[in-house]
Amino acid sequence: MSLNLLQEQQEQEQEAEKPPSYHPRPVRPWRVAVIANVKGETPLPIDAPADAGAEFDRRETIQAIQDAIESDGHSTRFLSADESLMDTLREYRPDICFNIAEGIMGDGREAQVPALLEMLRIPYTASRVLANAVGLDKTMTKRIWRDHGIPTAPFQEFVTGSEPLDAELAFPLFVKPAREGTGMGMSEKSIVRNEAELRERVLWVVRSYHQPALVEAYLPGREFTIGVLGRADARQWTRNPRLYRADGFHRFPVLEVDNNNTVTPGVYGHLAKTLHPGDEGIPGFICPARVDAPLAEEMRSLAIRAHQAIGALDVSRVDVRLDAEGRPRLLEINTLPGLTPGFSDLCVLAGAESLSYTDLILEILYLGASRWGLLAQPNKLVRVPMSVNGQRVFARPLTFE
Ligand SMILES: Nc1ncnc2c1ncn2[C@@H]1O[C@H](COP(=O)(O)OP(=O)(O)O)[C@@H](O)[C@H]1O
Ligand SMILES: [Mg+2]
């Protein structure tokens, strides 16, 4: 390559590292619906397991999201993700929905609200229908990751519970419901050491949760969670271009979950996930995790690949464990990561690097809005035709700053 070409290439690469200096703005304030299922308010099926609804949000979280969005000049309303949603959407007519709804039942419950919004052609934040449905299903997710060469523990799905165990799976194994979250159906009893324990636990999962059981190799190593925020073109649409690397993704610090000495020893199970800071038996949360920089970087790039492999958009959180050899193995992806201020993992990650809760929420909102044409870049702003002394002129770009 000639010296000139090399220099040109280097300049282009340096240029790509530089974030743009302009800040896109909404053309006008939006009406934003925050759509969620609320603990104790959303009705659940009568035969639901005891820990059903564990992923639902509290009113305080919804209010915190509304406050963050309103601080940017928009108006908001909470809409409950249940049978009333079609009517409340028609009445409120939001410009965009901030979706955190877990959904109520079925094999793709986290995709229920996105599917309804797609049908009504209403913009919304974060992942769309397919990625939310796949992300909820841990077996499907692992099949896609395996196809992409993304490291995940060997596994087998049990639909009836009487299937013979694959020869490649050796005890100890880990048994979990294929389509739940928040540690539902998981405790130290999920670790099974022989055939009898395996059968008992698999049948318990199938019967209690009315869904297949996912059985995977038990990963004995340390546990981490990795936040993903961004998209290839994120720097074009963000309020903070410096947040994102040239590939469009932000790198949060890595969070380690220390499961030694918890209420569910060795496992970040349901009981451990319902405890609050200061409670007895809560896991240790170490952020930034004390890991070598190359391992942290490897886990971050695996999380971004995992996010892209299932077609997730804008935000997610990926759980990782190390195997006996200390190699990272991906457990699952959360396309609707919890957003309880100061408590949910993603908020802890953001807090550890002084990214405020408001900024985190507005990043998710702006990334979502940009996909639906709701943000104007300065060079593409709407210009309002006006006339001066009969002469047609264009006024200043229409923004509401
Ligand atoms: N294969 C495994 N080996 C060891 N521990 C596991 C395995 N799978 C899950 N766990 C433990 O169970 C917890 C919850 O599992 P996860 O798949 O992340 O489900 P959830 O959606 O409920 O968070 C993990 O955080 C981890 O502590
Ligand atoms: Mg998890």
CATH (domain of 175): 3.30.1490
299 in a structural domain: yes
Q: Let me know whether 24 and 106 are in one domain.
A: yes
Q: List the beta bridge partners of residue 34.
A: 78, 98
Question: Among 184, 186, 190, which is best to mutate for testing ligand 1, by the most ligand atoms less than 8 A from CB?
Answer: 186
Which residue matches tokens 């925050």?
34
Q: For position 156, what pLDDT does the model report?
A: 98
Please tell me whether the peptide bond between 220 and the residue prior to it is cis, using omega within 30 degrees of 0.
Answer: no
Q: Let me know whether 233 and 314 are in one domain.
A: yes
Which amino acid, one-letter code, is at 11?
E
Domain residue limits at 195: 154-217
Higher pLDDT, 14 or 374: 374
Phi, psi of 330 (to 5 degrees): -80, 130
Ligand 1, residue 332: give the atom nearest the CA. Answer: 17
CATH (domain of 369): 3.30.470.20
Q: Where residue 18 falls among pLDDT bands split at 50, 70, 90?
A: low
Q: Let me know whether 158 and 117 are in one domain.
A: no
Q: For position 17, what pLDDT does the model report?
A: 60
Give the Å distance between the CA of 49 and the centre of ligand 2: 18
Q: For position 254, what pLDDT does the model report?
A: 98
Closest Cα to atom 22, ligand 1: which residue? 183
98 in a structural domain: yes
Let me know: does 202 contact 189? Beta carbons within 8 Å.
no
Q: How many CA atoms lie within 13 A of 40 on its CB side?
A: 2
Q: Let me know whether 325 and 196 are in one domain.
A: no
Would you call 384 helix, strand, or coil by DSSP?
A: coil
Q: Where residue 225 falls among pLDDT bands split at 50, 70, 90?
A: very high
Closest Cα to atom 9, ligand 1: which residue? 331
Q: Report whether residue 218 contacts ligand 1, using a CB cutoff of 6 Å.
A: yes
Q: For position 50, what pLDDT does the model report?
A: 77
Q: Let me know whether 69 and 210 are in one domain.
A: no
Let me know: does 37 contact 103? Beta carbons within 8 Å.
yes
Q: Exposure of 190 by Cβ count < 10 A (0-12 exposed, 13-18 middle, 19+ buried)?
A: buried
Q: What is the mean pLDDT of the chain?
A: 90
Query: pLDDT at residue 400 above 90?
Result: no
Q: Let me know whether 199 and 328 are in one domain.
A: no
Q: Where are the alpha helices (DSSP H) in 284-333?
A: 293-309
Q: Let me know whether 242 and 98 are in one domain.
A: yes
| Number of domains composing the chain | 2
Q: Report whether residue 51 contacts ligand 1, using a CB cutoff of 6 Å.
A: no
Let me know: does 356 contact 303? Beta carbons within 8 Å.
no
Please tell me whether the peptide bond between 26 and the residue prior to it is cis, using omega within 30 degrees of 0.
Answer: no
Question: Among 263, 267, 320, 333, which is best to mutate for testing ligand 1, by the most ligand atoms less than 8 A from CB?
Answer: 267
Give the Å distance between the CA of 19 and the centre of ligand 2: 33
Q: Which ligand number lies closest to the CA of residue 274? A: 1
| 57: DSSP letter | B
Nearest alpha carbon to residue 198 among 149, 247, 163, 226: 163
Residues 316, 300: Cα–Cα separation, whole Å: 12
Q: Let me know whether 242 and 355 are in one domain.
A: yes
Q: Let me know whether 231 and 180 are in one domain.
A: no
Q: Let me know whether 120 and 211 are in one domain.
A: no
Q: Which ligand number lies closest to the CA of residue 184? A: 1
Q: Where residue 277 falls among pLDDT bands split at 50, 70, 90?
A: confident
Residues 167, 126: Cα–Cα separation, whole Å: 39
SS3 content of the chain, % helix, strand, coil (to 5): 35, 20, 45
Query: pLDDT at residue 206 above 90?
Result: yes
Q: Report whether residue 153 contacts ligand 1, using a CB cutoff of 6 Å.
A: yes
274 in a structural domain: no
Q: For position 4, what pLDDT does the model report?
A: 65
Higher pLDDT, 14 or 198: 198
Q: Let me know whether 213 and 227 are in one domain.
A: no
Query: Pairing between strand 173-177 and 155-158?
Result: unpaired
- Which tokens belong to 397? 């770009």
Q: Let me know whether 38 and 163 are in one domain.
A: no
Taking phi first (over 0 means left), then psi (-120 to 50 degrees means alpha), and beta for anything else, what does residue 374 get?
alpha
Residues 77, 358: Cα–Cα separation, whole Å: 17
Phi, psi of 191 (to 5 degrees): -85, 115
Let me know: does 148 contact 126? Beta carbons within 8 Å.
no
Residues 374, 382: Cα–Cα separation, whole Å: 11
Closest Cα to atom 15, ligand 1: which residue? 183
| 321: DSSP letter | E
Residues 75, 96: Cα–Cα separation, whole Å: 11
Q: Average pLDDT in the 174-180 region?
A: 96
Q: At what angle do helices 112-120 and 85-92 cross, to 10 degrees?
A: 40
168 in a structural domain: yes
- Give me the sheet containing 31-36, strands edge to edge: 75-80, 31-36, 96-99
Q: Average pLDDT in the 56-72 region?
A: 96
Q: For position 25, what pLDDT does the model report?
A: 82
